[in-house]
């Protein structure tokens, strides 16, 4: 039977709440008469904010409590930033909808300098992402890279308080929070690769609830799903862990898919790049192919360090 109400489990950060509200509004628009409520929850990932994410057990951290709420019948769906969703979902769950992608680029955020090249020698740049650290190190080996965690507002406050000369954030998150004016320059493909799935919002639900899945599928965006499928397949083939500096960017054209991939080393700034094209129904194979190309160029040695 088609449900008349859907409850969205969400984290409580400003960005998570914006994304959950965005999905709620889209569901109400797609299904007039449907009631959509938010169920805000705390996750372990939100509580352990003082340690680098790489050391505290990975991305699943942000999903677990939301998945438990769905299993216990307290919520029907969860809304995530796709880049926080592990390459492999927990058994019993599916991603019935991936919403149209926002700007997937990273943002250079800085009060005094317009871009990365303008930063003075030895400037302090904050980011806990090994992918961002590796790419920063590759172009500016002189920079002092410092850990920076917390939600978007906390990170901006630490920049403004003078703890860093610049920080790197996702453009999508800043735009959603009405903070696009903080983007001094974009760090964008092909020179700089985002995280697999960056800029896309994913809906997660139990795979044994067909009536719920059918309602959610109305929000799925074909083109975004193709692109992020290739990116996530590549990440999965590389080992799929968030503690590894991996970048991916897939574009969809009338000719099919084009995927660029990168594996890096945060300590040395060494980067390995590969790219390939495929027909649009070959996203998984394309991801595997680019991962294989990266392995042939020596990715295993970089991945082994993590
Ligand atoms: N790691 C946290 C996270 N997860 C998703 C986003 C931004 C939104 C997105 O990429 O879809 C952010 C913040 C950031 O990286 O600046």
The residue nearest atom 11 of ligand 1, judged by CA position, is: 199
Ligand 1 nearest-atom number relative to CA 199:
11
Identify the pLDDT of residue 303: 87
Ligand 1 pocket mutation pick from 22, 46, 54, 83 by most atoms within 8 angstroms of CB: 83
Same domain for 235 and 119? no
Please identify which of the residues 76, 84, 106, 165 carries the catalytic annotation.
Answer: 84
| This prediction's pTM | 0.94
Please tell me the distance from the alpha carbon of residue 212 to that of residue 27, in angstroms, as a whole number. 11
Same domain for 147 and 11? no
Mean pLDDT within 137-161: 97
Identify the pLDDT of residue 63: 81
Please tell me the distance from the alpha carbon of residue 228 to that of residue 233, in angstroms, as a whole number. 8
Same domain for 235 and 209? no
Mean pLDDT within 145-167: 97
Same domain for 115 and 87? no
Residue where the block lists tokens 């904050």: 126
Mean pLDDT within 8-18: 96
Ligand 1 nearest-atom number relative to CA 201:
11
The CATH number of the domain holding residue 96 is 3.40.190.10
At residue 57, does pLDDT exceed 90?
no
At residue 55, does pLDDT exceed 50?
no
DSSP of 5-59, one letter per residue?
Answer: EEEEEEESSHHHHHHHHHHHHHHHHHSTT-EEEEEEE--HHHH--SS-GGGTT-G
CA-wise closest residue to 135 among 245, 21, 254: 245
Identify the pLDDT of residue 161: 98
What is the domain extent for residue 31?
5-100+200-220
**247-275: per-residue pLDDT in tens?**
999 999 999 999 999 999 999 999 999 99
Task: Please provide the average confidence, as pLDDT, over all residues in the chain.
Answer: 93
Same domain for 278 and 204? no
Same domain for 209 and 163? no
Same domain for 170 and 291? no
Classify residue 72 by burial, with Cβ atoms within 10 Å: 0-12, 13-18, 19+: exposed
Number of separate domains in the chain: 3
Identify the pLDDT of residue 48: 54
- The mean-pLDDT minimum among 18-32, 227-241, 282-296 falls in 227-241
Same domain for 239 and 204? no
Same domain for 94 and 14? yes
Ligand 1 pocket mutation pick from 45, 52, 81 by most atoms within 8 angstroms of CB: 81
Same domain for 257 and 117? no
């Amino acid at each position: 039977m088609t449900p008349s109400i859907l409850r969205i489990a969400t984290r409580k950060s400003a960005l998570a709440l914006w994304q959950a509200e965005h999905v709620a509004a889209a569901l109400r628009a797609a299904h007039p008469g449907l009631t959509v409520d938010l169920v805000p929850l705390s996750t372990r990932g939100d509580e352990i904010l003082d340690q680098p994410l790489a050391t505290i057990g990975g991305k699943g951290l942000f999903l677990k409590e939301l998945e438990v709420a769905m299993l216990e019948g307290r919520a029907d769906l969860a809304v995530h930033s796709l880049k926080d969703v592990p390459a492999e979902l927990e058994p019993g769950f599916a991603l019935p909808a991936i919403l149209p992608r926002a700007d997937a680029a990273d943002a250079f955020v800085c009060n005094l300098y317009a871009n990365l090249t303008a930063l003075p020698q030895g400037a302090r740049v904050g980011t806990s992402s090994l992918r961002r650290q590796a790419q920063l190190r590759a172009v500016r080996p002189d920079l002092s890279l410092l850990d920076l965690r917390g939600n978007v507002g906390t990170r901006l406050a630490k920049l403004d308080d003078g703890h860093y000369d610049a920080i790197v954030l996702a453009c999508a998150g800043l735009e959603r929070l009405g903070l696009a004016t903080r983007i001094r320059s974009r760090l964008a493909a092909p020179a700089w690769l985002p995280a697999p799935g960056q800029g896309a919002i994913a809906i997660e639900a139990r795979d044994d609830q067909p009536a719920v899945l059918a309602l959610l599928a109305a929000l799925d965006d074909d083109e975004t799903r193709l692109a992020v499928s290739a990116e996530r397949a590549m990440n999965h083939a590389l080992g799929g862990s968030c503690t590894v500096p991996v970048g991916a960017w897939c574009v969809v054209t009338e000719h099919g898919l084009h995927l660029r991939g990168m594996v890096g080393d945060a300590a040395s700034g060494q980067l390995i790049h590969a790219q390939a094209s495929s027909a649009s129904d070959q996203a998984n194979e394309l991801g595997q192919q680019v991962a294989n190309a990266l392995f042939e160029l020596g990715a295993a040695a970089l991945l082994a360090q993590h």
